[in-house]
Chain A
Amino acid sequence: MIVESWILLSFCALIFCVGLLGVLLRRNLLVILMSIELMLNAINLTFVSFSYQLQDIHGQVCVFFVIALAASESAVGLALVIAWFRTMKTTDTYAMQYLRESP
């Protein structure tokens, strides 16, 4: 054991919370996508630390699937950002007000 397992898991939770704060607080679409990547990385590290603690390889196999999922998520997400930028010329989430009633 290089560190106690609760310290390792708390570190994963800390990185996850930083990513969550990024999603909640930022308005730039690109930074929101990056924060989602941060959260997925924290989950991967949780999988690996459980795999290390329980001496079981299946956690690392799960990480492989999460990595593939995160890659496809960011590809589609960035394509959506490009499509959005083409119509609105901005990456600000507050510009998404097409369905709003005009005041």
Chain B
Amino acid sequence: MPTLFFYAFAVLALISSILVIVKKDPVASSLSLILVFFAFAGIYALLEAHLVAALQILVYAGAVMVLFVFVIMLLHDPRKLSEKNAIGAWVAVPVVFLFFTQLVMVFRDSPVSSFEGGFSPEQIEVWGGNTEVIAETMFSKYLFPFELISVLLLAAMVGAIALSKRHSQRSWNS
């Protein structure tokens, strides 16, 4: 049964992600992207990553997509954009396809590692569940990267405000 659910989510994610890149209208692309995010959240839940599934819905489908839709609404480009590109599809598609087949061959032929990290689902259940184990790990072993990522978020916030602020004429002259 989980296998069936995985294939359903995978097909949904694949179709919607192809729609993201072929739709001419950015609004249609962004709505397809929301579907991709929900399908990915379903796959995360199937893979026992419950916190990541919740974060996917909250951060991606909630915050990032709202940002995207706001910017699309803000920028109305009345001109029909031509999609003729310097890199034609007849070059890009074969190269990317070659890359993909290479990856699949590597994944299929490499032996499955017998490494066991000691975090089996039963053991995680004993320790208090997925969220608690991730929190324990993050605030002990990954404390410094956690602080760094908060500085990064602050820098991104300041940068986004500074970039999108409308400069007055006076500030350019001074």
Chain A contact residues, CB within 8 Å of chain B: 2-3, 5-6, 8-11, 13-15, 17-22, 24-28, 30-31, 33-35, 37-38, 41, 44-45, 48-49, 51-58, 60-61, 63-65, 67-76, 78-83, 85-86, 89-92, 94
CB distance A30 to B87 under 8 Å?
A: no
- Least CB separation from A75: chain B residue: B160
- Least CB separation from B162: chain A residue: A79
B99 to nearest A CB, angstroms? 7
CB distance B21 to A56 under 8 Å?
A: no
CB distance B74 to A6 under 8 Å?
A: no
CB distance A45 to B40 under 8 Å?
A: yes
Q: Complex Cα distance A72/B103, Å? A: 29
CB distance B153 to A5 under 8 Å?
A: no
What does the 1/0 interface line of B61-92 toward A look like (CB < 8 Å)? 00110011001101101010111010101001
Main secondary structure of the interface of A (DSSP, over half): helix
CB distance A44 to B100 under 8 Å?
A: no
CB distance A34 to B81 under 8 Å?
A: no
CB distance B77 to A91 under 8 Å?
A: yes
Q: Count the B residues whose beta carbon is within 8 Å of the partner chain — how many?
A: 84
If A11-B10, A18-B21, A75-B160 touch, whether A31 touches B134 (CB-CB below 8 Å) is no
B168 contacts the other chain (CB 8 A): no
Of A10, A34, A54, which is in contact with the most chain B CB atoms at under 10 Å from its CB?
A34
If A6-B108, A34-B33, A61-B134 touch, whether A24 touches B40 (CB-CB below 8 Å) is no
A57 touches which of B20, B59, B104, B137 (Cβ 8 Å): B137
- Least CB separation from B40: chain A residue: A41
CB distance B48 to A25 under 8 Å?
A: no
Q: Which residues of A contact B2 (CB under 8 A)?
A: 2
A35 touches which of B21, B115, B138 (Cβ 8 Å): B21
CB distance B103 to A13 under 8 Å?
A: yes
Q: In the complex, which residues 93-110 of chain B have their Cβ closer than 8 Å to any Cβ of chain A?
A: 93, 96-97, 99-100, 103-104, 107-108
